[in-house]
Every structure is written in structure tokens, then in C-alpha cells.
Amino acid sequence: MLLVLFLLLLSAWNTGENLLYIVFGCVFGMFFLSMVAGRWSLRKTSVRRGAPYAVFREEPFSCTVHIQNHKRIVPSISLRIQQQQASAGYILRIPARHQASTSIESVFSRRGVYTLPPCELVTHYPFGFLELRRRYEDILEVLVYPKVRPARLPALESSSGMQMVQSRNVGEGDEFFALREYNHGDDLRLIVWRISARLGKWMVREMGIGNARIVTFVLDTRKTDAPDYEAVFEEMIDLAGSLMVTLLKRQYSVGLYTPERSLECAKGTAQEQHILDCLARINPVDASSYPDFDVRVRRLHSEAVRVIGMTPDISLWGTADSLSGVSVLDPGSVVYA
């Protein structure tokens, strides 16, 4: 636009043609009007965003954006919301002293605690010659949970790393727990034929041993010098979250123990949120800062509580009594539903 104005002015100055001066005046007027109208459109506007308390990694979520026009007379026209250089929404007109709302979609690829990225209000009003923008930032934090997937419980309990957590006998067990839908791999002898015929779908009895439903997961978060430690660590957190959520949904009592924090065994959705909150905030720690971790893990052994060990050290996967007397789970033996 500036180049066009310069060429018109140079041509009019050299030729002295009135028509070129008229064209230059029209283009300059449009340029000046675009600047003034665009600035007035963005003037006295505020942005307020709302986001969920927590989301899961790699799962899109919506943030609500409220744009308030504080001007007394002039409306705000043709506003586009951008986040991370991508267009996220468009509002044609916000009258004076009014508010408009829209939603933008975001996604986080890593677990942790994050602040929402800054957003920008962009306008090309009225002619599209100029792009004016205003940047808005807030301190709204979002807790990003690990990626959780449901695991197949029969395969989970029969895996090598879960030998201490068998909640079912080889037969039907000694304690009836609940009825549930049939999953591929379940024992056909557990099918309840009458109820299955009445409901029109396969239903099985879930049998178990009472004290095997109290499980504590021990996560060894002490950092090592392995070249791929960070990637394996994140995979361990995802796997731990999937297993614990699966067990909680089956009415297990689940606890968490790490070098820097611990959660007592409990049931229900509240315990699920507490566990996911802890997993979202867990980071690798310096081994020298927790020299007594092995001793504390040994104290967890009890007849009423089963202990599962998990570590990013690949060489210890599937081994027995390798983590202070705790069997370490082999991630390869876990099958997702």
C-alpha cells in the first residue's frame, strides 16, 4: 500500500496531471480511513478466556473467549481471534457496551501445568488494506493429564509384573464382585447365561479376592543418564495413569508412591482426580536427593496391600524383587482395550 502511494505521488509530481493527484488523494484517504477505523475497532476492547481445570494430553478441548466492547457509541467490527498464529474464530460486529462470545480449540502435546498461550484480536476493517492487531495475555493455567487408555483387566492381572496383584483365582474366585459385559479373553465359564439372554448381550461374573483390590503403584522417578530417558519416562506416566484409572473404575482401592509424594489407597472418582493431578505434576528427580527411597518402599509391603513397581529403566522391566523387593511391571505385557 505504501509503495502504491509513493508511485502515485511520484507520477503526479513528475507529470503534473490533476487526475493522478485525484487518484493519489483517494488512495491516501482510503489508507488513512483504514488506519483510523481499524484502531477504533480495537480500541477499548478486552478479552477474557475460560478453560477447563484439566485436560488430557493430545486431546482437543475448547476455550470460551468473551470479547467486551467498552466503547459508549462506536461498535467493534470484523474482529478475528488468533492463537499461536492460527485463526481461531471470527466476530462480525460487537455493539457498544456489549459482549460477544466464541470458542477456540486448543490441544497440548505434553503433560504438565501450562498457561494458555497469548491470543490476538486482528481486524482488516474496513477495506482490508491494513492488518491491525492487539495482543492479550492472561495467567489462566490448565493442568494437562497423561494420556489415559482403558486396559484389559484380565490381561493386566495375568501379566508378569502383576503377579502380586491377582484379584481373581484360576477358577471363579472366592468373592462375587459385580456383573459386567463380556470382554474378549474372559473365561467362558464366567458367563451368566440367563441374564445374557434377557439383556441380549453377553454378561460375565467378576469374581475376586478381597485384599487383592488394594493396590499401591510405586513409580521410580529418579533420573538416570539413559539417552532416551525422557521419552520412556513419559510412557511410564501414561501407562501408570491408564492402569490406575482402569483399576479405579473396577472399584479397586488404588494408591500412589513416588520419591517426592504419596497418595493413600482409596476408591472413587475423587481418588481418580487426585491421582491424575499428581501424575500431571510429576517430574524426574535427582537420585541423590532421596537416598532413603528404597528403605521407604520396603515398608510398603503388607498382606492387605499389593505393590506394583514401575520404572523407566528398561533393563528392570518384568524382573522380580528388583525395586526394593517389588516386582517391576513389564509394559509389553499390558494390553489395552
CATH of the domain at 100: 2.60.40.10
Higher pLDDT, 210 or 151: 151
Is 120 contained in some domain? yes
Domain membership of residue 219 (yes or no) is: yes
Q: What pLDDT shows up at residue 175?
A: 52
Mean pLDDT of all residues in 229-252: 91
Q: Select the more confidently predicted residue: 59 or 315.
A: 59
Per-residue confidence (pLDDT) for residue 135, from 0 to 100: 92
pLDDT in the model for residue 254: 92
Q: 252 and 159, same structural domain?
A: yes
Q: Are residues 308 and 221 in the same domain?
A: yes
d(CA 41, CA 31): 15
How many separate helices (H) and strands (E) can be counted in the chain? 7, 16
Same domain, 305 and 328: yes
Same domain, 158 and 291: yes
For the purposes of burial, counting CB atoms within 10 Å of the CB of 110, is it exposed (0-12), middle (13-18) or buried (19 or more)? exposed
| Highest mean pLDDT: which range of 12-21, 164-173, 272-281 | 272-281
On whether both 158 and 265 belong to a single domain, the answer is yes
pLDDT for position 252: 87
Domain count, the chain: 3
Asked if residue 163 and residue 121 are part of one domain, the reply reads: no
Same domain, yes or no: 203 and 220: no
The boundaries of the domain holding residue 319 are 153-167+211-333
Q: Is residue 72 in a domain? A: yes
* One domain for residues 162 and 173: no
Whole-prediction pTM value? 0.73
Residues 235 and 249 in one domain: yes
pLDDT exceeds 70 at position 156: no
Cα distance between residue 57 and residue 63, in whole Å: 15
DSSP 246-265: HHHHTT-EEEEE-SS-EEEE
pLDDT for residue 150? 86
Mean pLDDT of the 1-16 span: 86
170-227 residue pLDDT tens = 344 445 556 778 877 677 878 888 888 888 888 887 665 444 678 899 999 999 888 8
Q: Do 308 and 278 belong to one domain?
A: yes
pLDDT tens-digit map of 65-85: 999 999 999 999 999 998 877
> Are both 78 and 190 inside the same structural domain?
no
Looking at the fold, whether 174 and 223 belong to one and the same domain comes out as no
C-alpha cell at 265: 489407597
Decide if 297 is inside a domain: yes
Contact yes or no for 230/312 (Cβ under 8 A): no
Q: How confident is the model at residue 164 (pLDDT cuts 50, 70, 90)?
A: very low
